[in-house]
Structure 1
């Protein structure tokens, strides 16, 4: 099992930004539903979801909990930063 933090691709950052109403562009139906489930999950279930979808969980957590998370995701989406 890897202990490295996954890197968030620009596409995922765009999908998460869109879901939270900050631009970007929507994911497909399944991807959008996945992001909504992740965003609504409690801590225990977020940990479970992260086992299968570590990048998506990380991106949603950045948007929800990091003080500068939206700015960080915008920078990733624009190719100006890496997660």
Structure 2
């Protein structure tokens, strides 16, 4: 089963690095990268199965982001 993944990271270059690391995995399809939470509504339109986000991006998600969607969120951090 292929996971449609979106990467949300406040450092776009870091997000590109994560994308490069995951590109060789047949079970992961990266459908987008974003570096600002204001892009979140556009990202949801891509219908990802999972969002890989750092805490800075996650805390800026709209309060109603969990309503009417089944997107899973995996938080990454450096602490």
TM over 0.5: no
Higher-helix-fraction structure: 1
Higher relative contact order structure (alpha carbons within 8 Å, sequence separation ≥ 6): 1
Name the TM-score, length of structure 1 as normaliser. 0.29
Higher-strand-fraction structure: 2
